[in-house]
Amino acid sequence: MHKKTLPLFVKFWTHAVLVILAISTGCSGTTTPPQLNPGVHEINHHTFFINSLGMQFVPFSGGKTWLSVWETRVQDYASYATNNVWRAAWFQDSQNHPAVNVRWADAQAFCAWLTQRERQAGLLSKNEGYRLPTTSEWISALGNVENYPPEPNSGNFDVSLKVDSFPKTSPVGSFPANIIGAHDLRGNVWEWCIAWPKKEGPAHILHGGSWRDQSQKLLDPKQPLLVAKNVSSEDYGFRCLLVLNRPIKP
């Protein structure tokens, strides 16, 4: 696993928990990170949600919508895709890479499956669940970024730009998070979105650019990519959004 795989903010939270545990137990030599149960947690005034697959979400846009801090990983999607022909890309050597070769309908089906799974487990209520972010939600989570060219170590883009060391996909969280704690909103893989509340048209929407993109047009972070239905690619992935109808405080 690449040494940058673990997101920086997760490293900070993990360290904070270890310090708390060391103080409470009188043991300062432990090297095993604590295993947090699924649900809402707060560490050092940072609130986040961990689901049953270990995916982590941060609140934004008023608090009822929570965005995954990573693109959906190979290990996450593989938990769902146990009975079909999906496989990780041939070049992906880690479960921590983003899942690719996923169609828009596949991403939607994963969200529905995960929602049902966690409602049945009592982790989510009947009016809570997962879905793809809308275009406006995705852009809101992105925040203000410079368009072009991307700065060194700001994301995973085509090798010709010489801003990162990954020839294809990179493990999620390999680059610094943005202001809300989300990684890879630019680069790595294009991310499927939905047009809701507008009706979906003949094409579906992706945002963010990918590891194989270099042009200013494709790397414009707010410019959508429209593709025909039932299309998949080695640089198409997705990120989940979670709707929680409960107080933010754990």
CATH code for position 43? 3.90.1580.10
**Is the pLDDT at 199 greater than 60, yes or no?**
yes
Asked if the structure places residue 1 within a domain, the reply is no
Asked if the structure places residue 15 within a domain, the reply is yes
Asked if the structure places residue 37 within a domain, the reply is yes
Domain limits for position 179 = 8-243
Q: pTM here? A: 0.83
Rounded to whole angstroms, the Cα distance separating 219 from 163 reads: 13
pLDDT band at 39 (very low <50, low <70, confident <90, very high): confident
pLDDT at 1: 47
Q: What do you get for the CA distance between the two ends of the chain, in Å?
A: 32
Asked if the structure places residue 58 within a domain, the reply is yes
Q: Where are the beta strands (DSSP E) in the chain?
A: 39-43, 46-50, 56-60, 65-68, 129-131, 190-193, 203-207, 225-228, 236-237, 241-243
Asked if the structure places residue 250 within a domain, the reply is no
pLDDT of 110-167, one tens digit each? 999 999 999 999 999 999 999 999 999 999 999 888 778 889 999 999 999 999 999 9
Helix (H) or strand (E) holding 107: helix 104-120
105 vs 26, higher pLDDT? 105
As for how many domains the chain has, the answer is 1
Asked if the structure places residue 62 within a domain, the reply is yes
